[in-house]
Structure 1
Amino acid sequence: MSSTGEDSSILNEEIFKEPLLLLSSQVRTRLKKRADLLAIDRDGNGVVIELKRHHGSMGVDTQALQYLSDFSSHRGMGFLSRFKKGDEKSVEEVRGFLGDAVAIDDINKATRVILVARSFDETLYSMGEWLCSMGVAYRCIAYTPFNVGRKTFSAFRSPSTACRG
C-alpha cells in the first residue's frame, strides 16, 4: 500500500485519495491489542487503518474504535515518541510531510478510522454514518483483486458513505 516513489513511508495516494504518512505498522495499544497501520494526514490528524483480507463484518468497527480511543489520548511529541521513533530524523520526516501548516504540538488533535476490506456488511455503513454524525471520521475502502497473466492486482473504491474529520 506504499507508493513506489522515493519515500516508502508515504501510503499510496491512489488508494486512500489523500496523502498519508505511515508512522508505524502492527501498533500495540496499552491493552496489548494490535492495530494494522497508524498514519497521519496533511492536517496532522492520526489515521488508524485496519486491513482485512476478506469481508469486513460487525466487530471490525469496534476493534478499530478501541484503537482509536487508545491512540487519540496522545498528542504532539508524545504521539510521535509513542508511535514513531521520535528521534530527530523521524521528527524531520514528519515536519517535511506536514510543512509549515501544522506545528508538532498540534499533531493528533483528531484521530479517524479507515477500514480496508474486499466487502463490508451494510451495518458497518450505518455505523459509519452514525459515527460521522457524532464527529468521528470513518471511511471504508473496498478492494477487488484481479489477475493479469500471472500477476494479481487490486482495484480500490470508496463507497459513498464516508466522512472526514
Structure 2
Amino acid sequence: MPIEVGIWNINNGIKKVAFSSIESERKLEDILVKDISILSEDILLIGRQIQTDYGKFIDMLAIDQDGNLLIIELKKNRTPREVVSQAIDYASWVQNLSYDQILNIYEEKNDAPLEEAFADKFDNSLPDNLNDNHQIMIVSAQLDSETERIINYLSNNFDVPINAVFFRYFEDGELQYITRSWLLDPNIVDEKSSNPKVKNKREKWNKQDFVVNFEEKDSRNWADAVKYGFIAAGGGRWYSQTLKRLFVGARIFCMIPKSGYVGIGKVTETVKPIKDATFEENVEEKGIANLSLKAPNMLHDSDELDKCEYIVKVDWIKTVPKEDAYWIKGLKANQNSAYKLRSQYTIDKVSEFFGLENDN
C-alpha cells in the first residue's frame, strides 16, 4: 500500500485539511508538464504525446541524468489492465530508440537541442550512451487496488521496472496543495531497470574526431602550442596515455578546461615523450630545450617516462587565444586528455564558431 499523507493547519489551533483526488488526469498532466520535478527532481521532460511506430501516443517521455528514459502514462479513467498493458507496449518500443531518435524527438517537441536542455538541467553534458535502461511510471489522481495488485505482481515476480504514483489535492481557504505518494520505493525500481540486453545506445563516432584537453600550467602554455604546432599532456600516465589514441590524420578539437574550445587541427605525428620531440624553427629542427617557450617548466621529469610531458604534433586549422575560447552549455567535456568526440552537436557548434564547414 502507498503511504497515506495527511496535512494539518496548526496556525490557529489544529485543523486537518480536507483532501480530494484531482478532478482529472488531464489537469494533472498539465501540472506535470509545467513542472516535471513534481514527479522527480532528477528528470527532464522530452515531450508529451510521443507517437510510436504503432500509431499510439505516449503521454509523456522523460530522461534522467544518466541518459535513461522514463515512460509516464496517466491513467485517464482507463481500467488497470488497459493502462498497464499499454505502458508495457510503449516500453517495448522505447527500449529500441537510438541516440539520434531521442535527439530528434526532443528537438521536434521543443524546437531546441537536447544537448543544451540537458546541460541546463543537470549542469553536465549529455552522456555518450542513451537509453541503456528505462522505467515505466503510472500516474493517477487516485490509486485503485487492482492497479496496485498488477504493478506489485509485475515488479515482485518478473522484475519489471514499473511504479505508480498518485496525487491528492488539498484546499485550505485560498491555498491549494497537492501531495505525491509512491506505490513502490523508487530506489528499488531503479535497481530493476538495468537491461543488459540493450546496450550501446550511443551516438556514432565518425572515426576521425577527438577532443583534447590542453590544461595550461607552468609546464604547458597554449601560445607555445599554437606557435610550434602541438598538444601536450603529462604529469602521470593517467594524463598522457590517452594521447596514444590519436593517429596521423585524426582531427582534434582542442579545449582548455574551464575556458572552452580554442582550436581545431589535424594530427601530423603520433605521441612521443618530450625528449624525443623536435620542431622546425627558422628552417632548423630543434629539440624542445632549444625553443623559446613561454612555459617555464615543460621539460620537467624529461627522463622519467611515467611523469614527463608527451607531445603530439598538430597542423592547426584554426585557433583563438585562450581569452577568446568558445563555450556554451551542452558542448562535450570530459576529464581525459584525449577522447573520441561522438557529439555531432559539439562538432557542429565548434566548427561554426571557427568558421569551418563541417562535412560530417
> Do 1:55 and 1:119's aligned partners in 2 also have CA atoms closer than 8 Å?
no
Alpha-carbon deviation of 1:161?
A: 6.0
> Which protein has the larger Cα radius of gyration, Structure 1 or Structure 2?
2
* TM-score where L is the length of structure 1: 0.76
Q: Secondary structure at the match of 1:74?
A: coil
Shift of 1:113: 0.7
What residue in structure 1 maps to residue 36 of structure 2?
11
CA contact (8 A) 1:37 1:50 kept: yes
Q: How does 1:150-165 map to 2 (within 5 A)?
A: 150=174, 152-160=176-184, 163-164=189-190, 165=193
Aligned to 2:151: 128
Q: In the alignment, which of 97, 103, 107 is matched to residue 85 of structure 1?
A: 107
Checking the alignment, whether the CA contact within 8 Å between 1:75 and 1:109 is kept in structure 2 is no
Separation in 2, partners of 1:67, 1:35? 7
Say if 1:45 and 1:108, in contact at 8 Å, map to a contact too: yes
Q: Say if 1:58 and 1:119 are closer, same or farther in 2 by CA, change over 3 A.
A: farther
Shift of 1:58: 2.5
Q: State the Cα deviation string for residues 60-111 of structure 1 (Å, max 9, x = none).
A: 1011111111121112222222x211787332323554525832xx111112
Aligned-partner residue type, residue 123 of structure 1: E
1:144 to 159, 168, 187: 168
Q: CA deviation at 1:158?
A: 0.9
Secondary structure of 1:58's counterpart equals: helix
> For the Cα contact (< 8 Å) 1:24–1:84, is it kept in 2?
yes
Flag the 1:20–1:161 CA change in 2: closer, same or farther, 3 A.
closer
Give the TM-score taking structure 2 as reference length. Answer: 0.38
* Shift of residue 151, structure 1, vs aligned partner: 5.6
Q: For 2:182 and 2:154, how far apart are their aligned partners in 1?
A: 17
For the residues of structure 2 that align with 1:56 and 1:155, how far apart are their CA atoms?
23
1:71 and 1:130 map into 2 onto residues whose CA distance is: 22
Q: Secondary structure at the match of 1:156?
A: strand
The farther-off stretch of 24-33 and 46-55 is 46-55
List gaps (5 residues or longer) in structure 1. none
CA deviations on 1:34-65 (whole Å, 9 max, x unpaired) are: 11110001221110111235686231101111
Q: How many angstroms apart in 1 are the aligned matches of 2:125 and 2:160?
A: 26
**Percent pairwise identity:** 22
Q: Could you say which structure has the greater relative contact order, defined with CA pairs below 8 angstroms and 6 or more residues apart?
A: 1
CA 1:84–1:146: 2 relative to 1, 3 Å: same
The number of aligned residues is: 155
Alignment equivalent of 1:33, drawn from 40, 56, 65: 56
Correspondence for 1:119? 142
Contact 1:115 1:139 (8 Å CA) reproduced? yes
Task: State the alpha-carbon separation in 2 of the partners of residues 139 and 31 from structure 1.
Answer: 24
CA pair 46-154 structure 1, distance change in 2 beyond 3 A: same
From the superposition, tell whether residues 33 and 84 of structure 1 become closer, same or farther in structure 2 (CA, over 3 Å). Answer: same
Counterpart-to-counterpart distance in 2, 1:55 and 1:88:
33
User: Are the counterparts in 1 of residues 46 and 61 from structure 2 also a CA contact under 8 Å?
Assistant: yes
Consecutive unaligned residues in structure 2, runs of 5 or more: 1-30, 194-360
CA contact (8 A) 1:141 1:156 kept: yes
Q: Structure 1 CA distance, aligned partners of 2:140 and 2:179?
A: 11
Aligned equivalent of 2:276: none
Specify the SS of the correspondent of 2:151: helix
Out of 45, 48, 63, the position equivalent to 2:68 is 45
What SS does the aligned partner of 1:107 have? coil
* 3-state SS of 1:30 partner: coil
* Separation in 2, partners of 1:71, 1:160: 22
Kept in 2, the 8 Å contact 1:58–1:121? The answer is: no
Shift of 1:140: 0.6
- Separation of aligned partners in 2, 1:46 and 1:38: 7
